[in-house]
Amino acid sequence: MEDDCDIIIIGAGIAGTACALRCARAGLSVLLLERAEIPGSKNLSGGRLYTHALAELLPQF
C-alpha cells in the first residue's frame, strides 16, 4: 500500500462515499476512512435520495 494519496475523506456515509467516488473517477488517489464497522452507520441520511443527483453519480443504479 502506498503511504501517500491526493485526498483523504473522513466518513463513509452518503456524502463521503459520493465524494470519494467523484474524486476517484477524476483520477485522484483517494483514502476513505470510516470508524464504524458499517459505512455511514453512525448517522442517518434523513431518508432522502435525490434521484437526479444519484443518476449523475451512478448512472447504472
The pLDDT of 7-34, averaged and rounded, is 94
Full domain range(s) for residue 20: 7-57
Q: Assess if residue 1 is contained within a domain.
A: no
- pLDDT of 21 reads 94
pTM listed for this prediction: 0.68
The domain total for the chain is 1
Average pLDDT, the chain: 84
Q: Whole-angstrom Cα distance, residue 33 to residue 9?
A: 6
Query: Which is higher by pLDDT, 27 or 37?
Result: 27
In a domain? residue 23: yes
Residue 2 lies in a domain: no
